[in-house]
Amino acid sequence: MEYRYLGNSELKVSAITFGAWAAGGWMWGSTDRNEAIQAIQASLDLGVSSIDTAPVYGQGTSEEIVAEAIAGHSRDKIQILTKFGMRWDVNQGELVGPSKDNSGKDITLYRLASKESIIYECEQSLKRLKTDYIDLYQIHWPDTTTPIEESFEAVAQLVKDGKIRYAGVCNYTAGQLVEAERVCPIISNQIPFSMVNRDNDLENIPFCQANNIGVLAYSPMERGLLTGKIKNGQQFAEGDHRATYKYFKPESIERTNAFLKKIKPIADEHGITLSQLVLRWTIDHPGITIALAGARNAEQAISNAHASDVKLSTEQIEQINRLIQSEL
């Protein structure tokens, strides 16, 4: 496994980091708790030392699963990355809209990053994660109802109190990141990035590169689309958000699968899966520090971890990049 420092910090994380959104079940058509735990433990066994989660993933379920999975491991060998700023238990902040929890109960989501809310959320996450500190604490989404200065004054206080080691952001623009940095050192930005979704290559990734800020690429496999296993007519479980997600429209699936067919010979040459090729390409991309890779079971987790072992030549990367530009 490769390990990399986030930005200019001393926080060293695994290049393939376990993404625990799907493990929480929410928006993924539920979860099998035991399989999720086994997936995380299989990752740990192969050197995946970093786990990214959030309170909203299953309304606490994902963080609880992470705690159970890492029990018995040396805490200082594992990096817990979690978030704040998405509430389902209050009617405050920026309205996101209706959703359902894992039991099918109606909930309403808000983006809330007030000082009081952040302090409260941190305490709740520490309890669910059964730890006394969080390695990287990230705002989940910008909250337009709270000044950025107020949010990161609270985060800076948590750092001072020893509750968190480092602060990060998610889904922030370069301008928002600069504003947050005026109040609290920011070591990373977690943003969507994949072969089919490269919008952040225009500004955010170059900005982070220039300012020595780590980039955590989420959805690098575009929620399963880039595995090559998604076909037109795919039936998703009830509550699985991918059923209406834009990249899962028939024309997008066809175009993506045609592209994957063209890069498959490179995967075959290395004796690896398309998923492993996609993850390796992602962590080789300029400006990307780590790729967040979700897994529903141990088999998927093992496959993801081994993507770090792959060595792509410069010519192969350039070939993939040319095909991305022409096909996607």
What is the Cα–Cα distance from 66 to 23, expressed in whole angstroms?
9
Q: What is the pLDDT of residue 249?
A: 87
Mean pLDDT for 145-151 is 98
pLDDT of 30 > 80? The answer is no
Beta carbons of 168 and 190 less than 8 angstroms apart: yes
Binning pLDDT at 50, 70 and 90, where does residue 262 land? very high
Could you give the CA distance from residue 48 to residue 196 in angstroms, rounded to a whole number? Answer: 25
Residue 120 appears among annotated catalytic residues: no
Cα separations in angstroms, 312 against 95, 278, 280, 295, 308: 44, 11, 8, 23, 11
> Do the Cβ atoms of 289 and 216 come closer than 8 Å?
yes
Q: Which two tokens stand for residue 242?
A: 């991918």
> Collapsing DSSP states into helix, strand and coil, what is residue 109?
strand
279-317: pLDDT as tens digits: 999 999 999 999 999 998 999 999 999 999 999 999 999
Provide long-range contacts, Cβ within 8 A and 24+ apart, for 223-226: 223/247, 223/248, 225/196, 225/252, 225/253, 225/256, 226/194, 226/195, 226/196, 226/256, 226/260, 226/274, 226/275, 226/278
- Answer whether 234's CB lies under 8 Å from 244's CB: no
- Could you tell me which residues come within 8 angstroms of residue 325 by beta carbon, excluding any fewer than 6 positions away? none
Residues in the chain: 328
Domains of the chain, earliest start first = 3-85+114-223+277-311 (3.20.20.100)
Catalytic residue among 57, 110, 166, 172: 57
Coil, strand or helix at 4: strand
Q: Is residue 59 within 8 Å of residue 100, measured between CB atoms?
A: no
* Cα separation, 239 vs 227, whole angstroms: 21
What number of CA atoms fall less than 13 Å from residue 74's CA on the CB side? 4
Predicted TM-score (pTM) of this structure: 0.94
Bridge-based pairing of strands 79-84 and 186-192 is: unpaired
The confidence score (pLDDT) of residue 245 equals 80
Q: Are 187 and 168 in contact (CB under 8 A)?
A: yes
Both tokens of residue 57? 């993933």
- When pLDDT is averaged across residues 238-258 and rounded to a whole number, the result is 84
Q: SS3 of 50, please? A: strand
162 CA to centre of own chain: 24
- Split at pLDDT 50, 70, 90, the class of 236 is confident
